[in-house]
């Protein structure tokens, strides 16, 4: 047995970060799951995560775990809840600070370790390990709230996109249809979209392409705004 080095008068919990990684495939919202190779919950699916180092903040820890699993360095992440039920891990007392990330599925590489990772559409997620079912429900709830107060999309859509693509993303996240006239006017008046001169001759007449105005986008992420959908 290894030497035990750190001594406390009162017991301290272990602290982990977990990351619900949302990816958009242009049609549906997906989550990235890892198949556990060891007990407890061996063979079950779970979110990527791991122990927090003593010299890193939770955000740094979550980004490190995300990088190890997806190869993404600067993804957008957002802390949404800390899970602390006494028996949530059968081995020992573990508190998990949970984040969600928004990424483009196409940019994700396989993880460092040989862990099996796989994307699942939101309506086909298998039963998860630990309290990760609740974790997923709360992540979705928080994402659906956040969409009313911060811009979303820069991390999920290609560089250039049509208004319809942006609406489809919002519809996938909110799981409801949005009126396209209203959606378009609301989006344009936020000011974080730049209309390009280019158009896309897709399956219909020339359609305008848009790009995110990063400066305005970041400012609105920081200061917040209010969107009625």
Listed as own residue / partner, the contacts of 105-114 with beta carbons closer than 8 Å and 24 or more positions apart are 105/23, 105/24, 105/25, 105/30, 107/72, 108/21, 108/23, 108/32, 108/70, 108/71, 108/72, 109/70, 109/71, 110/71, 111/34, 111/48, 111/68, 111/69, 111/70, 111/71, 112/68, 112/69, 113/68
182 near DNA, judged by CB under 7 A: yes
Q: Which C-beta is closer to a copy of itself: that of 58 or that of 105?
A: 58
Candidate segments 28-36, 58-66, 111-119, 181-189, binder of DNA by CB under 7 A: 181-189
Phi-psi region of 107 (alpha: psi -120 to 50; beta: other; left: phi over 0): alpha
Q: How far is CA 116 from CA 31, 54, 71, 85, 112, in A?
A: 14, 28, 15, 27, 11
CB of 59 to a copy of itself, least distance (A): 7
Per CB under 7 A, does 226 bind DNA?
no
CB of 98 vs DNA, minimal distance in Å: 33
Q: Which is nearer to DNA, 47 or 210 (CB)?
A: 210
Q: Which two tokens stand for residue 31?
A: 């989550």
Residue 58 binding: pick among DNA, a copy of itself, none (C-beta 5-8 Å cut-off by kind) = a copy of itself
Residues 20-49 that bind DNA (CB under 7 A): none
Q: Which does 163 bind (CB under 5 to 8 A by kind): a copy of itself, DNA, none?
A: DNA
Can you tell me which of 4, 204, 215, 226 binds DNA, judged by CB under 7 A?
204
Chain residues 124-163 in contact with DNA, contact rule CB under 7 A? 162-163
Q: Which residues bind DNA (CB under 7 A)?
A: 162-164, 179-182, 185-186, 201-207, 228
């Amino acid at each position: 047995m290894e030497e035990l080095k750190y001594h406390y008068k009162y017991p301290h919990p272990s602290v982990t970060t977990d990351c619900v990684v949302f990816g958009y495939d242009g049609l549906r919202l997906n989550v990235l799951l890892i198949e556990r190779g060891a007990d407890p919950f061996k063979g079950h699916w779970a979110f990527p995560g791991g122990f927090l180092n003593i010299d890193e903040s939770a955000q740094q820890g979550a980004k490190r775990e995300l990088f190890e699993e997806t190869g993404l360095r600067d993804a957008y992440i957002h802390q949404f809840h800390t899970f602390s039920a006494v028996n949530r891990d059968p081995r020992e007392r573990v508190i998990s600070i949970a984040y969600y990330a928004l990424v483009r599925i196409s940019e994700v590489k396989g993880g460092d370790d040989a862990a099996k990772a796989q994307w699942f559409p939101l309506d086909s997620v298998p039963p998860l390990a630990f309290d990760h079912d609740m974790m997923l429900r709360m992540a979705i709830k928080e994402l659906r709230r956040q969409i009313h107060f911060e811009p979303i999309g820069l991390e999920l859509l290609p560089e250039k996109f049509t208004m319809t693509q942006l609406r489809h993303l919002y519809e996938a996240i909110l799981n409801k249809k949005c009126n396209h006239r209203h959606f378009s006017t609301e989006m344009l008046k936020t000011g974080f979209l730049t209309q390009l001169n280019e158009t896309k001759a897709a399956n219909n007449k020339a359609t305008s392409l848009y790009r995110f105005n990063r400066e305005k986008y970041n400012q609105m992420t920081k200061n917040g705004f209010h969107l009625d959908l």
